[in-house]
Chains A and B, each alone.
Chain A
């Protein structure tokens, strides 16, 4: 039996309400604190870096670049022309930061300049695996990823050393999803 108009309208409203509720629930099911981005990125999925670090940092840098390249759609290559991320290591003291990535990007959000500084004050005493996690973190910034507060100790957590000390030695799904979202 056909319902009167006011009842049909009510059914429609209820249906619309359920759809809105479903949409809200679907959106809220997305992890709210997953990877975030800086707003800058490379023009293509090929990113260049110059490894200007001494041994054993040069090994950590190569390993970190390879880790991103093999696990995601980004392709880190060494190069010296065009836009290049320069990686250096030095004693920057007890600044509170083991690594620092700084960048300049243009109006379109494309990198024009990138520098990665590895702080030997902290990192000299770290083993190879811990160095690599910190360098992977800095390369993540150099891809355009910001810090992630998702659980599971991703490489892109605020303190990659803390992630390493909690068992992280390789990129986590949230790190990979972030890179693949960008490229």
Chain B
């Protein structure tokens, strides 16, 4: 009963937010924003890897907004080019097209995964077509698919291609003490 009441309240809040946004957009120029409380800041690459079940080199594809349980997310289709962690599983899909990629919990990573970003989160949105090194972990949301992941630390686990396809730049400006630049070799 309590969960039904909670769901109704959540729906009520979302409906009000939608009405407010629509009115605001119709009547005047509005801005929207979001900020959050990071559960943890990472003091090293080892800590970031330690919270991840898989690290991939991948490109971002299409995104869709969806509701899963109590959370509204932007779900990105991510094309895995190479799995960099756990050790020993790293291989290019070209080299091993039928390879069954799995993370450290045994979850299937596959050659395409879904990566969630919470709607309204302060983490910068991924860009379609761009290459990233992504540190991932299962969403742990009831009802989520087995191939759906969150980015570790919201933003901490995003490294974007610096332009030359060999070095990846840390996106986080939250104060994480992880390396500013990574290469594939950094994770071997």
Cα of A52 to Cα of B12 in the assembled complex, Å: 11
Given A94-B150, A102-B34, A112-B24: 4 more A-B contacts, CB < 8 Å = A97-B37, A104-B31, A159-B39, A161-B40
Please, which residues of chain B bring their CB within 8 A of the CB of A162?
Answer: 38, 40-41
B62-81 interface (Cβ within 8 A of A): 69-71
A54 to B9 alpha-carbon distance, docked (Å): 11
Q: Are A40 and B24 in contact (CB-based, < 8 A)?
A: no
Q: Of B10, B32, B138, B154, which contacts A88 at CB under 8 A?
A: B10
Q: A96-B152, A105-B30, A158-B41 are in contact. Are A113 and B35 (CB under 8 A)?
A: no
Stretch touching chain B among A8-16, A141-149, A171-179: A141-149
- What is the CA–CA distance of A105 and B24 in the complex, to the nearest angstrom? 8
Pick the residue among B34, B69, B116 that contacts A100 (CB under 8 A): B34
- Shortest beta-carbon distance from A161 to chain B in Å: 6
Which of B's residues lie within 8 Å of A, judged by CB? 2, 6, 9-10, 13, 16-17, 20-21, 23-24, 28-41, 69-71, 116, 118-121, 123, 137-142, 144, 150-157, 174-175
Query: Which residues of the partner chain B approach A160 to less than 8 Å between Cβ atoms?
Result: 37
Give the contacts of A74-92 with B (CB-CB under 8 A): 86, 88-92
A137 to B116, CA, bound (A): 24
CB B95 to nearest CB in A, in angstroms, measures: 31
State the CA gap A141–B24 with chains docked (Å). 20
Q: Is the CB of A92 within 8 A of B141?
A: yes
Whether A101 touches B29, Cβ cut-off 8 Å, given contacts A88-B10, A92-B71, A113-B20, is: no
Q: How far is the CB of B50 from chain A (nearest CB, A)?
A: 14
Residues of A in contact (CB 8 Å), total 44
In the complex, which of the residues B13, B39, B121, B153 has the most CB atoms of chain A within 10 Å of its own CB atom?
B39
- For B6, B34, B153, which residue has the most chain A Cβ atoms within 10 angstroms? B34
A60 to chain B, nearest CB (A): 13
Complex CA–CA separation, A137 to B5 (angstroms) = 26
Binding site for B on A (CB under 8 A): 38-40, 52, 54, 86, 88-107, 112-113, 115, 119, 121-122, 134, 137-138, 141, 146-147, 149, 158-162
A99 to B36, Cβ gap below 8 A? yes
Contact of B32 among A95, A103, A138, A146 (CB under 8 A): A103
Q: How far is the CA of A137 from the CA of B35 in the complex (A)?
A: 10
